[in-house]
Amino acid sequence: MARAPSPAKSVPGGDSMLKFFKKKPFTPKDLADQAQRILSGECRTWDVDAYEHYHPKDPRLEDLHIETLRFGLPEEWIRLDEEQKSRLQAIIDQMRKVEVSG
């Protein structure tokens, strides 16, 4: 009997979303890179959904993640004015500097 295709493979970009959720550990750099792609408008299919639903375990990274979401929906970041983009970029830069142990 043939196996049904993986749901992730049947949705465009689903494979990258599956990798996003399976990846251990998810580093601050990974989260910052994802936010950077969204801000620049170069995001992949599931970047926005994955970013919105990610819950960092590290409290410092979680605070920065929440702070980015205060700028509105990530899919609308591309429409922010230059001052807001600059402030959001500063938070993304802070994400990259978070060091997580273990």
The per-residue pLDDT string of the chain (102 residues; one tens digit each, 9 = 90 and over) reads 555 444 444 444 555 555 555 555 579 999 999 999 999 999 888 889 999 999 898 999 999 999 999 999 999 999 999 999 999 999 999 999 999 876
Kind and range of the H or E run holding 68: helix 59-69
State the pTM of this model. 0.74
Token pair of 60 as six digits: 């410092």
Are the CB atoms for 74 and 48 separated by under 8 Å? yes
Domain ranges, ordered by start, for the chain: 24-97
How many C-beta atoms surround the C-beta of residue 89 within 10 A?
Answer: 14
Q: Which is nearest to 28 in space by CA: 3, 59, 49, 52?
A: 59
Sign of the Cα pseudo-torsion (97, 42, 68, 62, in order): negative
